[in-house]
Structure 1
């Protein structure tokens, strides 16, 4: 993610030549009609979910509404992602205003915290020391990380391939907690505004749920809603980098190779495009993070041809296959710990 639109400046001659082709094709131009339609549809789905919640009221059928509303939450998170990358608006101010409304106010995810984390991910994808998305928290991503962890992460690492999807049910709560924890950092910009919007989010979210439903149903609704939200988000981001090479300080790659070799595209047509919010074109997205989502599909053949010309591996898999690759990688990472456990 960058505040400066990608141009043909030198990031290495291989990338500069590719960037020139992309610019000549006009694929970095804004797509206002597309985003007007997409934001309108997501807004209708989001509001419609809560209208349905009120209309269904005190009934266990409300759990179906929880599922549908969680999907709308995840789609809104994908819109916030595009806003943070300045794919929607070219300037920072409208991007930040819309991003904080979508992130902090509507889904309870701190825009400032997430933008900082995601920027570091884009700068060094799958880098063991610099990418926060592969830092060893509960799950570990390399054998070296597995050998260093203690306590709960070590316990989980032995069977993390089996626990991966169950753990995703907690991802929504992790986003909320991490958003509040980040407010303690003095480096966070607009901390007061971010905090206020987060508080307003949880006031209206829990206030509405516990007003419409009796306590028991309200708790179950909340748990289902947040579990589906977390699983959806996790399933959106997991196919993109998980199971791809993990880089260390010994790896010295130029910009193009660093982005392409650590990313995976996902095939599947327009259904996958909608479900994953365009992130199935992960290679193109990482090379040109401010490229509007509908242009990623058009950039794909240009990038593929360029990589073939350079002899750079370009990986594309089906959706189920990509999950399989990620889970196999997690299983292999935990194997040394399982052997230690077996010998003990």
Structure 2
């Protein structure tokens, strides 16, 4: 993943970057990531032990939900790796990212990191940000008026369907990862395909060696449904419902990032649950900043935004979802009106 934090000494961002750098907040945190990775490995071993001890039982559905949380946390770790928060070099980041992403959770690291880089470069831009590209859901009234097929039906009531649809997002990650392998521009396609295949074969084998086919299917359904909802609830509060970057701000890195992002207030538990993405403004300004440093950067960034007169968006977790859902319902109005 290419980084987007490129300080320019003659800009508002350049001055902020110098303050952040002087505070040491862009320095690597190897101890933090060693502990975080160790905890995830320990939780994985605990989940495996619980799975084997329960055997062919419906109680395994609780394990499936726990594995979903673990998978989401591995996805958040892959996110940090892709931003080179963990390793400095592209080679080390690529190796670790593919182990965690492709092999660990069945998510194509190459596909996702390329997509996420485009999101960071142009957040909430309806033509350039893949996260707000029209698909089954629409993110602007213009997209709603142009919607065809299933999007015209779903878009009418998408605010009510959003969370139910998230239950399919875990499967969608697998499908999109596999489809991306067809692109000739995809780097390391053979390696990525081999690791994805190893993940899927290992996953199915682990289920069928312990569970009956019916319980195995139920385990997979719960696992992927909870995973999809967890990931959706992690990413949805950050930009959904925030404005598209104004024309005059599209060449202004600081304003392009701050005005399209929303922070979510919480505490240490929320920081862990959302993988630090509740500090979305700081993350977008400094993508390579280790997650553990984001809370320390927040007061510096917030004070600086007040100093230069840039609105700093921050709200509670529930209100962040409410804002996103209100926006989704509002932009679906043309479809409900039959336009």
Could you state the TM-score of these two structures normalised by the residue count of structure 2? 0.97
> Cα deviations across residues 227-257 of structure 1 (Å, max 9, x unaligned)?
0011100100001001101247686341000
Moved more, 250-259 or 297-306: 250-259
Do the aligned partners of residues 153 and 247 (structure 1) sit closer, same or farther apart at CA in structure 2, a change above 3 Å counting?
farther
| Aligned residue number for residue 2 of structure 1 | 2
SS in 2 for 1:194: helix
> Cα deviations across residues 166-186 of structure 1 (Å, max 9, x unaligned)?
000010111100001111111
Alignment of 1:159-308 (within 5 A): 159-247=157-245, 252-308=250-306
Counting matched residue pairs gives 339
Inter-partner Cα distance in structure 2 for 1:51 and 1:75 = 19
Provide the aligned C-alpha RMSD in A: 1.4
- Deviation of the 1:96 alpha carbon: 0.9
Inter-partner Cα distance in structure 2 for 1:250 and 1:22 = 25
Alignment of 1:40-119 (within 5 A): 40-119=38-117
- Deviation of the 1:50 alpha carbon: 2.3
SS in 2 for 1:340: coil
> Cα deviations across residues 275-294 of structure 1 (Å, max 9, x unaligned)?
00000000000000000001
Inter-partner Cα distance in structure 2 for 1:47 and 1:230 = 22
> Cα deviations across residues 67-111 of structure 1 (Å, max 9, x unaligned)?
001100000000000000000111111111110000000100000
Question: Does the aligned pair in 1 maintain the 2:249–2:256 contact within 8 Å?
Answer: no
Inter-partner Cα distance in structure 2 for 1:133 and 1:229 = 18
SS in 2 for 1:72: helix
Do the aligned partners of residues 195 and 249 (structure 1) sit closer, same or farther apart at CA in structure 2, a change above 3 Å counting?
farther
| Aligned residue number for residue 139 of structure 1 | 137
- Deviation of the 1:336 alpha carbon: 1.9
Give yes or no for the alignment of 1:121 onto 2:119.
Answer: yes
SS in 1 for 2:332: helix
Deviation beyond 4 Å, 4+ runs, structure 1: 248-251
Inter-partner Cα distance in structure 1 for 2:3 and 2:141 = 35
- Deviation of the 1:8 alpha carbon: 3.5
| Aligned residue number for residue 311 of structure 2 | 313
Structure 2 unmatched runs, 5+: none
- Deviation of the 1:318 alpha carbon: 0.5
Do the aligned partners of residues 7 and 254 (structure 1) sit closer, same or farther apart at CA in structure 2, a change above 3 Å counting?
closer
